Structure 1
Amino acid sequence: MKAPAKRPAFLLFFPLAALLAALTVPLSVWAVLSGSGWPPGLLGSGHGHEMVFGFALALIAGYTLGNQPQSVLYPLVGLWLAARLAWMLIPDSWLALLLSPAFALLLAWHVVPRFNAAKKWRNRITGPLILTVCLLPLAWLGLLAAWRYWPDLARGLEFSAGRLLHAGVLCLLLLMMFMGGRIIAPAATVTLERKGIEPRARLQPHMESALIILLGLAILPLLLPGVDSSLAYRWSGLCLLAAAGVLAVRCWRWELWRCIERPDLLAFGIGYAWLAVGSLLCGVAFLGQHAAAPALHLITIGGLGTLSTGVMLRLYFQRASKTPPGTGWVCCITTLVAIAALSRFASGPAAFGQPILLWISAASWALAYIALLAKMLELNHRLR
C-alpha cells in the first residue's frame, strides 16, 4: 500500500504566520485610534494574545512539524485559522476561548515527542519548552473561566492575563535564545573557517546552560498563581538582568562582524542582540515595578520579528535554491523591523498617546511581513 503523500508544514504555516503578523498589529492600532473598536479581539491585550498564541505557535508548527501527511497538516491549519478568526471577531465566546487551546494541544501532541530522543539535558529542553508554550492558551482559558464563574477565587490567585502574557513572552525569549544559538553558532563557525579564521567561540554550551537556567527561573514565578506579583516580578527581573549579560557576551564572542559577506547571519546576530537589550530593559522594568510594555516589545518586535523573518527567509531560500537569502531582502526586512521596534519603544508605556510613533511602528512591522509574504509566495512555486 502506497504511503500517503507528505508536505512540508512550513509551506502553509509560514505564509499564514506572516499574514497574521501583517494584519494584527495595524488592526489593533486601528481598533483603538479609530474609535470603532473593531476588530474587538485585538483591543487591550488581544493583539498580545494573537502574537503569542497565534503567530508564535504558527512559527513553531512550521519549523518543527517537518513533512506531514495531509490528514495531519490540513486539520491543524484549519483549526489554527478558525481560532484566529473566532478570536478576532467574537473573543468573548466559548468558541474563541476553546479553539486556541485545542490547536495548541494538538500541535503539542505531534511536535513534543519528536524531541524526546535527545540525550543531553540542554537538548531535551526543547520539548518541555514547546509544551509550556502550548499550554499557555489552556491557562488563559482557565483564568478567564475563573473570572467568569468564580470571581472570588480569581481575585485570590495573584494572577492576571497580563502576567500570563509576560510569562509567554519570556518562554518565547528562551526558545529564541536556544534555537537562535543553534542556527548562528554552526553558520558562523563555517563562515569564519572558510576565511581562514579560527573561531574563538562555537556553541558555547556553558553559556547556553546558564541561559536556560536563568530564563527558566525568570519564567517560573510568573506562572505560579500563589506567588505574590511584586515578588514574582522582582525575582524575574533579577534573572533577566543576569541573562542579558550572558546573551550579550555570547553574541559578541561569535564575532559576527567578521561575516560581512553573510547578511543573513548578521541579521540573526542583530536579532540576538535585540534579545539581550530587551532582557536588560525588561529586567530593569520588572525590578523597579515600572511599566514593562516598551521593553517587552523590544523582545517581541525586535527579537522575535528579526529572528522569525530570518528563519523563514533562510528556510525558503535553502529549499528553493540552496543559497542564503538575498542581501536586499534581508536588509530591507531587518531595517523595517528595527524601525518598528524603536518606534514602539519610543512611544512609551502610554503608546496610544503617541499615535504617530505607533502608526510608524505598525506600518513598518506590516511592511516587513508583507514583503516576506510576497517573497515566500513567489518561492512557493519553485518548491511545489
Structure 2
Amino acid sequence: MTSDNPGMPRKNMHAFWLFFPAAALLAALAVPLSVYSALSGTGWPPGLLGSGHGHELVFGFALALIAGYTLGPQPRRILAPLFLLWLLARISWFLAPQSLAAQLLSPAFALLLARHAVPRFQAAKKWRNRIAGPLILVICLLAVVFWLANSALAVSIRPMPGTRPVMTAAIVGLLLLMTFIGGRIIAPAVAGTLEKRGISLEARVQPRIEGMLLIILPLALVLAFMPFATAVAGLLLVISAFLVVVRAIRWKLWHCGNRPDLLVLTFGYLWLAAGAGATGFSLLQRTDPIPAIHLITIGALGTLSTSVMLRLAWQRARRTTPPSWQVIGIAIGMAIAALARFDAGVTPFAKPHMLWLSAVSWSGTYTLVALQLVVLFRHSQNRRK
C-alpha cells in the first residue's frame, strides 16, 4: 500500500488506479467500434465482429475490473507486466484476432491474473467466503476454453463447445460474481447507514439466500454447456432472479434516501435480477437469449462497475462518497444503454438507431468515469506529497 507518510518510499500501488481507468477506456472504445465495424461494412476493427466484442467485454473489460478490485496494493514489478500483458492482448485482439499473439496473450493474461488474485481468497474459513477465488479461476479458465473453441484445435478436441456456450457460461459466471461481491458491498454499507439513523437491519448478508445463489448459479453455469439442459438452466436463472429481489427488499433501502450511491448500487444489483430472469425465461421458451443477456452485461455490469469504480476512487482520494449527480448520471446512462440494446432484439441491425443509442450512452458514461478516475488519481497523488 502506498504510504500515508510522505517520508516513506512509495513501493506499492493500488491496482484499481491502473486497471479501472484502462477498463473504462476499453469499454468506451469497444462498444461503438463494434457497432461501427458491423454497420459500416468495413469489418474494422476485425476483433470486434461477431463474438469478438463479447470476448473483449468478458475477457478484456471484466477481467480488468476483477484485477482492479481484487489485487489491492501491489509492487510495480507485479502490476507492470500484468498490465502490459493485458494491454498487448487487447491491441492484438482488436487488430488481428486470429493471429497467434491474440490467441495466446488473452488467455495468458487471464492465467496470470488468476495466479495473483485467486490465492487472496483462500484464507477465509467459511466456504461462502472462499467462493470468490474459485469463481474468478473459472472465469479466467474460460478464456482458455474460448481460445480452444475458437482455434483450429477445436476440430481435433472432442467434445469441444462452440464459442457461444463458452460466452454464455462466462456471463453466468460474471452474474454469480456480481451477485456475491455486490451483496458483500451493499449489505454492510446499508447496515451502517441505518444504524446511524437508529434503525436495526437484521437481514444483512443473508447467508441462506447467498448460499442458495452460490449453489444454483454454478449449476446454471455448468448446464450452459449442455444444449439438452438449457431449460433447466433457464429455470435456475429464474429462481436466482427471485432470490436476488428478495434479498434486495430485505435490505430496507427505502430508508437510505440520503445515500444515492447505495441506491444506485442496489439498482445495479436489481439489474442482475432483471437480466437473470429475462435470460431464464428466454431459455425456457428456447428463444434467442442475446437481448436478455445484455441486461446483465450492460445494465448490471455497467451500473455496478461504474458505481464501484467511483466509490473506491472517491474513498481513496477524498475520503467521501461520490456526489449524487455522478451516481445518478451513471444509473441513467446505463439504463438507457441496456434498454436500447434490449429493444434492438435478436436482429439488432434491423434497428441501427437503437444500437447507436445504446453504444453512445454506454461509451459516454464510461468516458466520463475514466476522466473522473484520472482527476481523482492526480488529487490522491498531490495530497500525498
Q: Does TM, normalized by the shorter one, top 0.5?
A: yes
1:17 aligns with 2:23: yes
2:273 paired residue number: 276
Aligned to 2:11, which of 5, 12, 15? 5
Q: Is the 8 A contact 1:333 1:371 kept in 2?
A: no
1:246 paired residue number: 243
Over 3 Å counting, the alpha-carbon distance change for 1:67 and 1:158 in structure 2 is closer
* Displacement of 1:256: 1.1
Aligned to 2:222, which of 220, 223, 230? 220
SS, match of residue 171 in structure 1? helix
1:339 aligns with 2:336: yes
Aligned to 1:90, which of 87, 91, 96? 96
Letter in structure 1 aligned against 2:84: G
Letter in structure 2 aligned against 1:258: H
Matches of 2:317 and 2:249, distance apart in 1: 31
1:63 paired residue number: 69
Identity of aligned residues (%): 53
Matches of 2:9 and 2:321, distance apart in 1: 33
| Partner deviation per Cα, 1:224-252 (whole Å, 9 max, x = no partner) | xxx4x1x2311211110110110110011
1:47 paired residue number: 53
Alignment of 1:176-215 (within 5 A): 176-215=178-217
* Displacement of 1:198: 1.8
Q: Is the 8 A contact 2:154 2:160 kept in 1?
A: no
1:161 aligns with 2:163: yes
2:116 paired residue number: 110
Using the size of structure 2 for normalisation, the TM-score is: 0.95
Count matched residues: 374
Over 3 Å counting, the alpha-carbon distance change for 1:222 and 1:320 in structure 2 is same
* Displacement of 1:3: 8.5
Matches of 1:13 and 1:96, distance apart in 2: 20
| Partner deviation per Cα, 1:182-231 (whole Å, 9 max, x = no partner) | 000001111111112222521111100011101011001224xxx4x1x2
Q: Is the 8 A contact 1:233 1:287 kept in 2?
A: yes
Aligned to 1:314, which of 293, 311, 315? 311
SS, match of residue 125 in structure 2? coil
Q: Any gaps of 5 or more consecutive residues in structure 1?
A: none
* Displacement of 1:257: 2.1
Which deviates more, 82-91 or 232-241?
Answer: 232-241
Matches of 2:262 and 2:66, distance apart in 1: 20
Aligned to 2:139, which of 133, 137, 157? 133
Matches of 2:257 and 2:200, distance apart in 1: 16
Letter in structure 1 aligned against 2:104: L
Matches of 2:224 and 2:159, distance apart in 1: 12
1:35 aligns with 2:44: no
Using the size of structure 1 for normalisation, the TM-score is: 0.95
Matches of 2:309 and 2:302, distance apart in 1: 11
* Displacement of 1:259: 0.4
Q: Is the 8 A contact 1:53 1:137 kept in 2?
A: yes
| Partner deviation per Cα, 1:150-185 (whole Å, 9 max, x = no partner) | 63x56x636210110000000000000000000000
| Partner deviation per Cα, 1:247-306 (whole Å, 9 max, x = no partner) | 110011111121011111001110011000111110011111111011100001000000
Letter in structure 1 aligned against 2:78: V
SS, match of residue 196 in structure 1? coil
Matches of 1:257 and 1:53, distance apart in 2: 36
**Cα RMSD, aligned residues only:** 1.3
2:375 paired residue number: 378
Matches of 1:149 and 1:276, distance apart in 2: 37
Aligned to 2:293, which of 283, 291, 296? 296
Matches of 1:306 and 1:316, distance apart in 2: 16
Letter in structure 2 aligned against 1:219: L
1:144 paired residue number: 150
2:262 paired residue number: 265
